[in-house]
Chains A and B, each alone.
Chain A
Amino acid sequence: MTALWVAIIAVALANAAIKAAGPVIVGGQELPPRAVSVIALLAPALLAALVVTETFGEEQHLVLDERAIGVAVAGLALALRAPVLIAIALAAVATALTRAFV
């Protein structure tokens, strides 16, 4: 129990510090244009990495499982201009059905 609480408190403090760092250091000042364009590209980089690690990552392995079907269905739905919530719901349904029947 002690190890658990030590871990929780340490992680809470580190988490708060990490979240505060960017806004405190970068905020409130004019940035050079190059820095702005790098920062603007952080969003697509982070999102793309999150998509593939959440789809194919399993601990430290890459796996191709039912999640890929769901994400592919979502991608198709989005390409056909489906609303975001519909695309996400379709992804969950496709993954659940594949798990149940394949």
Chain B
Amino acid sequence: MITFSGSAQFAVAAVLGGGGGALAAIIAAVLLNARFGPMGVAIAPYLKGGPLRRALEGQAVVDASWALASRGGGRFDREFMLGATVPQLAAWIGGTAVGVLGGNFIGDAGKLGLDVIFPAFFLALLAGELRSARARAVALLAVVLALALVPFAPPGVPVIAACAAALLGLKGSS
């Protein structure tokens, strides 16, 4: 509830539930959340105000809002991201409370195919990003990097490492 980061919450629960120590849980969660670093860099030019205000607005970066606010070609809609985060935060806290109180009442979300919502959603947003040949090359390279690293790196690391694909942008202008 306090961290407002789903994957980190799950990571902490998984590591501690699996008998791991607090340090292992912290490392796992921080690695997973490191993706907010590049996301924050991407959206930074569109946030307003001084360092303190931008730091606060940066807290609104969550996967779904960040992705929804993306307008393609690296542009972002600040108001949209902030607006998209507020109802999510409310639903988040409410949902966590329901989960704590209700336990396994809902049953297995996997049976309903709900676990596929996130990749399908990211795919839809990715489709909007692939207008230029360079963006397609970057996406392809990111896919290769991420898949290659999954068996070797802790969860979360492959996604961050795949950001290196964006360095193709250094090669001249698009």
Contact = CB atoms under 8 A, between A and B. Distances in A.
Contacts of B129: 43-44, 47
Interface residues of B, number: 94
A47 B67 contact: yes
A22 B38 contact: yes
Contacts of B159: 46, 49-50, 53
Contact of B123 (A19, A20, A21, A71): A71
Interface in B120-139: 120-127, 129-130, 134-136, 138-139
Nearest to B25: A7
Interface of A: 3-4, 6-12, 14-16, 18-28, 31, 33-34, 36-57, 59-62, 66-67, 70-71, 74-75, 78, 84, 87-88, 91-97, 99-100
Given A15-B36, A19-B55, 14 more contacts: A12-B2, A15-B30, A27-B51, A36-B74, A37-B173, A42-B74, A43-B67, A43-B74, A47-B126, A47-B129, A57-B158, A70-B116, A94-B113, A96-B112
A39 B135 CA distance: 12
Given A22-B40, A92-B116, A48 B124 contact: no
Contacts of A53: 146-147, 150, 158-159
Given A14-B26, A22-B38, A78-B127, A3 B16 contact: yes
